[in-house]
Structure 1
Amino acid sequence: MRVLDIRGLAAGHGATTAVRGVDLHVDAGEVVGLFGPNGAGKTTTLLTVAGCLPAHDGSVEVLGRQVTRRTGARALAQWGVRLVPENRGLFRQLTVRENLLLGLDSHRGAKARIDEILAGLPQLRPLLGRRAGLLSGGEQQQLALSRALLGRPKLLLVDEMSLGLAPKVAAGLLVMLRDQAVERGVGVLLVEQHVPAALKVVDRGYALAHGRLVHTGTAAELRADPDVLASAYLGSAATE
């Protein structure tokens, strides 16, 4: 099942167009990487899919429904879209448990739902009473991912999961993300700067440069030809 289908997307902030002519898709249970240098338009693409930015041109179809300028982030969340932003979006003064409860659309059966998620991310269980601001970077990212999964997403958008984390911690989180996506049949669009680690968990990848797609392929194809991705990171790009 296709959970995301983007065709000819042009988008940006206000009158500024940061991405142009982008075509990509994500299927259920598939992890797709979106790579490129800072300013290439990766976050712009994610925010447009999440309904936080309107598309300037082209089409975005989520779970068989067309996204319009009037759809909005709230409606997309109701459809089953969840965004894990670059800054993790946590409430630092609230506890881990309180942050998790915010990921639920209803508190009915909350304990069972949280227990289900923590079965896959058990390191958070002893931290339920701790404030989110006191967690390590890796623990905060696990919390952000857990809260998103509590919404039972069909499409998960993850922006820079490894940002600020040690390589070993980042690699472990990427594997965890892959396991959760496959187990739950969630389609994932992942923006990630740590390309070698990401290519170990994604099924396919797209490379953006200067707001345009410059390459796409399976993870195996991209691993076999690292120069193709490396070329996308050379030179300056339009501002995200």
Structure 2
Amino acid sequence: MTTASLAASAAGTHHADEARGRATLLDVDLRAKHYGPRRILDAIRFSIAPGEVVSLVGPSGCGKSTLLRLVAGLDRDYDGRIALAGSTLRGVTREIGFVFQEPRLFPWLSAADNVAFDSGRKGRDDAHALGLLREVGLDGHADALPRSLSGGQAQRVAIARGLYTRPRLLLLDEPFSAVDAFTRMKLQDLLLGVARHHGIALLLVTHDLDEAIYLSDRVLVLDADPGRLRRELRVPLPHPRDRRDLALAALKAEALTELHAIHSF
């Protein structure tokens, strides 16, 4: 299979899932997003199917994190429509979880209490919170305070917290950028495992092309000034994937070509 057959242009990506006979979970039709007079995002249209993993890559300042905030409902000042399962999003919803670049745990709360914070209950008394901690490999750490956790463990707590409300879509903004390479690979596999187990879709912002291609069903490449959807790269490889697979390397080369064309490095 050639790299050309592995990659598809962004044209026609809107409702691409319907064309393949798949339901749409998230539908983004963003005409524009401004900060004052500056146009940050322009004419971005894409959809995500249930259980699909999609990554956003592009140069710094192209609006990737801004786009994630719009989908999360944290910023409602834009021109366009964002819908979840056909219903227009009008703010934050429990059906969309968010994992930030840093764990952002409350330092005075235990791991279990951080996970269960949304409910207002004590994590030690919450079977769901304890189950999520077991699922992310932190069984026995329910009473641990954040200061006693490694960076990777703290981000596992953050992932468990993002799953606590049983979301249909989990948003992640460079969630593994602060950990070492080996921890990062372990967390990537953990993320895929919990996403499959819970049947949720993922929308991920990352600057790591290896991460984007290893995790994703599709990689969306954004241009800058303003941010536009430049190209869609499909990754038609089954999970679990082998990081040494030459097809992954070929797709990374495609992505590098696109990023080089927009002078992101």
Query: What range describes the TM-score normalised by the shorter chain of this pair?
Result: 0.7 to 0.9
Range moving further from structure 2, 168-177 or 4-13 = 4-13
Within 1, Cα distance between the matches of 2:82 and 2:118? 25
Q: Who is 2:255 aligned against?
A: 229
Residue 6 of structure 1 corresponds to which residue in structure 2?
28
Greater Cα shift, 141-150 or 218-227:
218-227
| SS of match in other structure, 2:80 | strand
What SS class does the counterpart of residue 2 from structure 1 fall into? coil
The equivalent residue for 2:208 is 194
- State the match for 2:50 in structure 1: 28
Q: Which residue in 2 is equivalent to 1:95? A: 110
1:101 and 1:205 map into 2 onto residues whose CA distance is: 32
Q: Deviations over 1:123-167 (max 9, x none)?
A: x22222221133221111111100111110011111101111111
SS of residue paired to 1:199: helix
Judged with a 3 Å threshold, the aligned counterparts in structure 2 of structure 1 residues 157 and 168 are, in CA distance, closer, same or farther, namely same
Q: Distance in 2 between matches of 1:150 and 1:110?
A: 14
C-alpha distance after superposition, 1:91-145 (max 9, x if no partner): 12322122012043767995321232133212x2222222113322111111110
Higher relative contact order (CA 8 A, sep 6+): 1
1:159 maps to a residue whose letter is D
Residue 40 of structure 2 corresponds to which residue in structure 1? 18
Gapped runs of 5+ residues in structure 1? none
Letter in 1 for 2:80: G
SS in 2 for 1:151: coil
1-side partners of 2:107 and 2:122: how far apart? 21
Paired amino acid for 1:160:
E
Q: How does 1:15-164 map to 2 (within 5 A)?
A: 15-67=37-89, 71-73=90-92, 76-77=93-94, 80-104=95-119, 111-122=126-137, 124-164=138-178
- Matched residue type, 1:130: A
Does structure 2 retain, via aligned residues, the 8 Å contact 1:12–1:44? no
Q: Residues 214 and 103 of structure 1: is their aligned pair in 2 closer, same or farther, counting only changes over 3 Å?
A: same
Change (3 A) 1:52 1:14: farther
Give yes or no for contact 2:107–2:146 (8 Å, CA) kept in 1: yes
TM-score of the two chains, using structure 2 as the length reference: 0.78
Q: 1:132–1:15: structure 2 CA closer, same or farther, 3 Å change rule?
A: farther
Distance 1:102 1:16, change over 3 A: farther
1:215–1:228 CA contact under 8 A, matched in 2? no
SS at match of 2:119: coil
Distance of aligned partners of 1:105 and 1:34 in 2 relative to their CA distance in 1, 3 Å threshold: farther
Q: Distance in 1 between matches of 2:196 and 2:129?
A: 19
Task: Check if 1:214 corresponds to 2:230.
Answer: yes
Report the Cα distance in structure 2 between the residues aligned to 1:63 and 1:116, rounded to whole angstroms.
Answer: 27
The farther-off stretch of 2-11 and 208-217 is: 2-11
CA RMSD of aligned residues (A): 2.4
Using the TM superposition, name which of 158-167 and 4-13 deviates more.
4-13
Identity of aligned residues (%): 27
- Tell me the distance in 1 between the aligned counterparts of 2:253 and 2:115: 41
Structure 2 spans left out of the alignment, 5+ residues: 1-22, 238-246
CA distance in 2 between counterparts of 1:16 and 1:41 reads 12
1:16, distance to aligned residue in structure 2 (A)? 3.3
Relative to structure 1, the CA distance from residue 110 to residue 60 in structure 2 (aligned partners, 3 Å threshold; closer, same or farther) is: farther
Pick the structure with greater CA Rg: 2
Displacement of 1:43 in angstroms is 0.3
